[in-house]
Structure 1
Amino acid sequence: MTEPTPPDSHATPFHDLDAYIALPRLGGLKLSPDGTRLVTAVQTLDRKRTAWVTALWEVDPAGARPARRLTRSAKSESSAAFTPSGDLLFASARPDPDAEEPDGDPVAALWLLPADGAEARVVGHRAAGVGGVQVATDAPTVLVVSDVLPSAGDDEADARIAKERKDTKVAAVLHDSYPIRYWDHDLGPATPHAFVATVSDDVAAPVAGEPDARLALRDVTPDAGTGLREQRAVLTPDGRTVVASWGRNVARGNVRTDLVTIDVATGERSVLVSDPDADLGSPVVSPDGRWVAYERETLSTPDRAPSIELWVVALDGGEPHRLGADWDRWPGAWVWLPSSEGLLVTADDDGRAPVFHVERRTGAVTRLTSDDAAFSDVQVAPDGRTAYALRTSYEAPAHPVRIDVAAALDGGAPVPATPLPAPAPLPALPGRLEEVETTAEDGSRVRAWLAVPEGASADDPAPFLLWIHGGPLGSWNAWSWRWNPWLLVAQGYAVLLPDPALSTGYGQEFVQRGWGAWGAAPYTDLMAVTDAALERLDLDATRTAAMGGSFGGYMANWVAGHTDRFRAIVTHASLWALDQFGPTTDASYYWQREMTPEMALENSPHRFVGDIVTPMLVVHGDKDYRVPIGEGLRLWYELLSASGLPADDEGRSPHRFLYFPDENHWVLTPQHAKVWYQTVGAFLATHVLGATGDDAVAYPEVLG
């Protein structure tokens, strides 16, 4: 492992936003069939520093060799997957040297990078592009996902209609069902279909002087409709069957999901599991091809929170059964062991996300990793004794590690993961990470991470920032490039990252405490853990702020209307008027399961606008479909017209509105992220630190 470099005179990448946005970012991990190669994706800034590009890097599972770069293009690579022979498939919109002159924006094609180190080449293409690459483990069968227009009878018609829409600048969509958009993108008119092909010898081994052969991509879901929209499809090891979560529209604009099987040869689709009381998803097929592990999420009601469970069903049918029925945690992701007798599962747990072993027959759960960290993208070696994963925490971004599964199971105790040589060193931090916990009004334990700047002491206490996570079903347990506390720590703030009621990793009852009552236990938990943190002498209880995004933004709005203890509040992509929010969010049916009209009104922050006396920075993107821009617009107007700090006769106010016309629920482009942090820093400096005159922190000049 490349250890973090010690700070030099307090200079770290978090003291310089340009240095911060230039830090490499790892995501995803794939292990070759023979267990000798690991591949991860690494994001870096492009030359203009206005976008990130992604390249594939190889990591040595043995930890002996440094990481090496495999791909390089201005269009990025994604969806890496190994074939049984060890070749690497990936999707990229990089130029195809054998293609005709491109007509318009390039789309992602399927590329093959041979295991012997030969040059990558295109092996599959559709006019709509491809993604979601999957490969059967025991057969040269490939699955990709690609969009298809509903009126197109074949690939030629699909490409022709899509080109006509683009050439004539027609973007209109005629919908007949719900939903019509999702998170940050509009849905339709095309919908995703599953395409399957065989990597034949002529595709895998081209002959000089002859045109490179291409995969014959065949649509095995011609009647998909909206069934595969935002769903997962995987191949069985023998490549003969696709197992997928499948969405179906039901009455009153509701969407439900089942598990289905699709015969690759015939396209025949059959329902494997349908549950009237739950939605089903995330199927993973066992190596012996006999079992499917999947997620069962119970349907919530206004009185009952959902429960996420791990279930298994035989591929040839039969009665499904739950694994870990006595395990009071929500499984996050899972992978089968080679024996098909157990799975490795990650789950939020007390501010971490360890790796657990779950037996298929008994459902017994054993924790494998002892790290104070969160793991993802777990890959299992062919012998099942070792696993590989990306490890992250609020002390380090994602980096590859090796896990000794056999040692943990044989020794009966969790083991630490071993770092592997990463594509980039871990950044030095401008402070230290500690834990804070307290007891809530109802006796529940509430805990938080606390990032403390270097030099904070009783003689020089740090100003305090409460940062509330989104979700709300989530946990502050993994590094976030978007919501990174160390940028504020570098400015001298101590940042508290609490997990209040509704957070995951503390059991079902902890979620239930806040269900349908967002303004109750979640709020009192936040205030209780804030009180506990501010008992420390190295924190300044007189200079405090609060902020959050999404549900965290909702909570920031609620805090603003219920206490004046903070000098400033930042609210990003926040819910403000819950009666308005419910019918306009991208998944209104889910909201209606959770809130009655009476509950929404009871918990709506907008009712308390007259009690807000704290300066607020409102941030919202116009392309946000999860929390539509109407929430930010209404919040801004009502702050100016009705809060305890209204605008003056000339319309000026201590409140501020940072508006991004072309960003979504998150602020993703590099320079906009930089503006976001600069603006937040300037707003906090003004109101929390009282910075004026020569000490004032200016808002970004680029804002005009």
Structure 2
Amino acid sequence: MDYASSDVPAFHDRLIAEPRPTDLVLGPDGTRLILSVETIDDEGTKYVPTLWEVDPSGEREPRPVDESGQGEFAPAFAADGTLLFLSGRENGASADSEGDSRSVALWALTEHGKAEPIAQHPGGIRAFTVARGSDTVAYTAGLLPGAEDVDTHARLRQDREKAKVNAVLYEASPVRGGGVDLGSDEPHTFVLHTDAGVIDAGSQGFAGSGDMALSPDGTLVVHTRAATSRTPDTNTIVIADAATGAELRTLSRPGHQYYCPVFTADGARLICQRQREETYDTEWRVTLVAFDLASGEETDLLPEFDNWPWPGRPVPSPIPGDATLFFTGDEQGHRPIFRRDADGTVTRLTAYGAHTALCVSPDGTTLYALHCTVDSPPRVVRLDTTTADQLPTPLKTPGNLGQLPGTLTEVHTEADDGFPLRAWLTLPEGASAERPAPLVVVPHGGPQASSNTWTWQWNPWAFAARGYAVLLPDPALSTGYGQRMQERGRGQYAGQPYRDVLALTDAALARADLDASRTGLAGWSYGGYLANLTATRTDRFKALVTQAGMWNLEAFHYDTDMHAYFQKIFGDPRTRRERYEANSPHLDAANMAKSATPMLIVQGGKDYRVPVGQALALHNDLLQLGVPVRFLYFPDESHAIRSPNHVRIMYETMLNFLDHHVLGREWKRPALL
């Protein structure tokens, strides 16, 4: 079989055009499921969110929400069943997650009525939340420095626009966060009362996360206040009076950050994620905690549960007095749904696949979620809240990608320190001992992550359609394998994780249906870093692809928007030289001349997580050393490539590059480049 002649453009065009479910909410009476779906806009140049109605019974076909259109996102239900969402529809703005949010307002849509804006803010609304038992709504929006209220903020914005000024003076705040430039306005939490207008409930701090919660009766509002430059590893939970904005209590713990606050149904406790980020001496750890609102006492809800270091957003039972809690968490290449009972017992409700966007029915008996696997895109599913290791019932969901070009299996082996390792392996159609397939190893980003879910970018089935097998290893620092997996890789990006990838590669290539003489390695973000590291250490791969990968760790330390996070792991390069010398690939650049492994570099010009200087430095080193290199540059893209046409070009370039160097075929330059 000539693998390279497979119909790749047909498959990755289907992949790019497929609707992408992103969020799911359930109405207060349990009869309406609203799904947020990203689709390509009418011009075909970007993804925009749309709202769909999904039948909870699974009988009716999904349909677009009446009176909704492109650009509607972040759906939620008010207590009376009114559908709320964010939209830039007033002036036709699409308001996608990476677009300009200046016109985004909060809209309300009754089941059989018209959509109307209920809250607007100069500069746009960024996020919102609702009270389960009242008509109170809270939202995140910005105030410019010197603005004590919304009216002053509006006048200051007008002055800047008239003067054509978009400059920002940073004083006590970070310049960048979350991969984007931080503007001059500071996020605040506002509470909307139908009878009393809008109350400013306080600042979230610059680079605030937008995490908010309202008590069921709407009397309390909670938001997280961002970490500061002096305490970058500590944020604060602020509890305020929703009627006056008065700050009632703050909660924090040195060296920890809190996310995803949510009230229990009786309003007596606040449940949050608590995160301790990795340092050189302590491993990454995330758990779920409960705060007693009367005493402020904090309780770890998962003190002995070691399946992963990263439980997902908590979803409490909707029944007052019921302490049951639902959440997801990575586990052995999956992301199951778990139930925690009042006595601390944890039950795994699903055995296979990855789950997000949990919704629980009003009577607490049924869960809805988005379910996917490495070999199936996200779909809405239904399951009960009591049965262990069940297979959820799929509901009719927008999209139909069709049959995939291959099959999925697993690879298991043992690391050099005796730790058990596993990986997913996708095999192309026709792979056999008689016709072994070429292999591409694709380590994930993060590094705290797992190859346990469907991916829209770097999708292994795009490679399989070309005839490549794809190995998706979970090395040290991956989530879902307990705290020991974090300890094994702590502070040594270039150590155990790299050796684990090679161990899994060797195990895969022991299979008769894989061709050890035709292999490549490709990765994004931390996976790109591992590709860069590989270029300096071995010539066993015939080609390497790196997207947004770190090269010079010292320069990266100063440029990245995650400067504070990264410094906690490796310290200041002026005083901790040995840590950078042990982990920075650029120091061993001369070794690339010996292996001369061809490399393709992919980079976004607006990437602030791994800035473009990393790619430029690698490119210059490869040119100087005479190593074959191509540089695919997207000036307007960020850390991930988002534009549909750009994603198409990226797949075509990567696959043609691999065909040329791994399979020995003629190089084909994509037509639009």
Q: Secondary structure of the residue that 2:107 maps to in structure 1?
A: strand
1:460 paired with 2:435, answer: yes
Higher alpha-carbon deviation: 674-683 or 261-270: 261-270
Post-superposition CA distance 1:26-61 (Å, at most 9, x none): 110000000001101111112221112211001111
Q: Which residue of 2 aligns with 1:491?
A: 466
* Contact 2:77 2:83 (8 Å CA) reproduced: yes
Q: Which residue of 2 aligns with 1:699?
A: 669
Higher alpha-carbon deviation: 422-431 or 513-522: 422-431
Post-superposition CA distance 1:517-547 (Å, at most 9, x none): 1111111111110011011111111110001
**Among 364, 384, 397, the residue aligned to 2:377:** 397
Distance 1:250 1:11 in 2: 52
**Among 161, 180, 192, the residue aligned to 2:156:** 161
**Among 198, 215, 218, the residue aligned to 1:236:** 215
**Among 350, 355, 373, the residue aligned to 1:369:** 350
**Among 249, 254, 275, the residue aligned to 2:232:** 254
1:136 paired with 2:134, answer: no
Deviation at 1:194, TM superposition (A): 1.3
Q: Which residue of 2 aligns with 1:546?
A: 521
CA change 1:562–1:72 in 2 (3 A) is farther
Question: What are the within-5 Å matches in structure 2 for residues 275-424 of structure 1?
Answer: 275-328=253-306, 329-330=308-309, 331-339=311-319, 340-360=322-342, 362-370=343-351, 372-406=352-386, 408=387, 413-424=388-399
Q: Which residue of 2 aligns with 1:611?
A: 591
Q: Which residue of 1 aligns with 2:610?
A: 627
Deviation at 1:249, TM superposition (A): 1.6
Q: Secondary structure of the residue that 1:701 maps to in structure 2?
A: coil
* Contact 2:102 2:123 (8 Å CA) reproduced: no
Post-superposition CA distance 1:430-474 (Å, at most 9, x none): 111111110011111110001111111111111100001000000
Q: Which residue of 1 aligns with 2:96?
A: none
CA change 1:72–1:660 in 2 (3 A) is farther
Deviation at 1:71, TM superposition (A): 5.1
Question: What are the within-5 Å matches in structure 2 for residues 505-654 of structure 1?
Answer: 505-596=480-571, 597=576, 598-612=578-592, 613-642=596-625, 646=626, 654=628
**Among 198, 203, 209, the residue aligned to 1:217:** 198
* Contact 1:15 1:491 (8 Å CA) reproduced: no
Deviation at 1:12, TM superposition (A): 8.1
* Contact 1:296 1:308 (8 Å CA) reproduced: yes
Distance 1:532 1:366 in 2: 33
* Contact 1:15 1:487 (8 Å CA) reproduced: no
Higher alpha-carbon deviation: 312-321 or 530-539: 312-321
* Contact 1:57 1:68 (8 Å CA) reproduced: yes
CA change 1:71–1:514 in 2 (3 A) is farther
Deviation at 1:477, TM superposition (A): 0.7
CA change 1:368–1:119 in 2 (3 A) is same
Distance 1:124 1:225 in 2: 19
**Among 70, 73, 90, the residue aligned to 2:65:** 70
* Contact 1:52 1:670 (8 Å CA) reproduced: yes
Distance 1:640 1:320 in 2: 56
Deviation at 1:610, TM superposition (A): 1.3
Post-superposition CA distance 1:655-675 (Å, at most 9, x none): 111111111101111111111
Deviation at 1:156, TM superposition (A): 2.8
Q: Which residue of 2 aligns with 1:204?
A: none
Q: Secondary structure of the residue that 1:333 maps to in structure 2?
A: coil
Aligned-CA RMSD value? 2.0
Post-superposition CA distance 1:228-256 (Å, at most 9, x none): 712401111111111122224252x7352
Gap runs ≥5 in structure 2? 93-99
Higher alpha-carbon deviation: 501-510 or 425-434: 425-434
Deviation at 1:272, TM superposition (A): 3.9
Distance 1:587 1:270 in 2: 31
Deviation at 1:123, TM superposition (A): 2.0
Deviation at 1:304, TM superposition (A): 1.6
Deviation at 1:299, TM superposition (A): 4.8
Deviation at 1:317, TM superposition (A): 2.6
* Contact 2:130 2:214 (8 Å CA) reproduced: yes
Distance 1:625 1:47 in 2: 29
Q: Which residue of 2 aligns with 1:85?
A: 80
Distance 1:620 1:483 in 2: 14
Q: Secondary structure of the residue that 2:304 maps to in structure 1?
A: coil
Distance 1:680 1:572 in 2: 10
Q: Which residue of 2 aligns with 1:207?
A: none
Q: Which residue of 1 aligns with 2:412?
A: 437
Q: Which residue of 2 aligns with 1:263?
A: 241
* Contact 2:204 2:226 (8 Å CA) reproduced: no
Q: Secondary structure of the residue that 2:664 maps to in structure 1?
A: coil
* Contact 1:14 1:430 (8 Å CA) reproduced: no
* Contact 2:34 2:52 (8 Å CA) reproduced: yes
Q: Which amino acid aligns with 2:333?
A: G
Distance 1:135 1:415 in 2: 31
Post-superposition CA distance 1:313-334 (Å, at most 9, x none): 1122332111121110231222
Q: Which residue of 2 aligns with 1:208?
A: none
Deviation at 1:587, TM superposition (A): 2.0
Q: Which amino acid aligns with 2:232?
A: N
TM-score computed with the length of structure 1 as normaliser: 0.89
Deviation at 1:13, TM superposition (A): 8.4
* Contact 1:523 1:555 (8 Å CA) reproduced: yes
Post-superposition CA distance 1:86-118 (Å, at most 9, x none): 110111001279xxxxxx996111111102x11
Question: What are the within-5 Å matches in structure 2 for residues 659-670 of structure 1?
Answer: 659-670=633-644
Higher alpha-carbon deviation: 348-357 or 326-335: 326-335
* Contact 2:79 2:135 (8 Å CA) reproduced: yes
Tell me the matched-pair count: 650
Higher alpha-carbon deviation: 654-663 or 277-286: 277-286
Higher alpha-carbon deviation: 328-337 or 346-355: 328-337
Distance 2:236 2:249 in 1: 7
Deviation at 1:73, TM superposition (A): 6.5
1:193 paired with 2:188, answer: yes
**Among 145, 148, 158, the residue aligned to 1:150:** 145
Post-superposition CA distance 1:474-533 (Å, at most 9, x none): 000111112211111101000000100010000001111011111111111111100110
Q: Which amino acid aligns with 2:275?
A: E
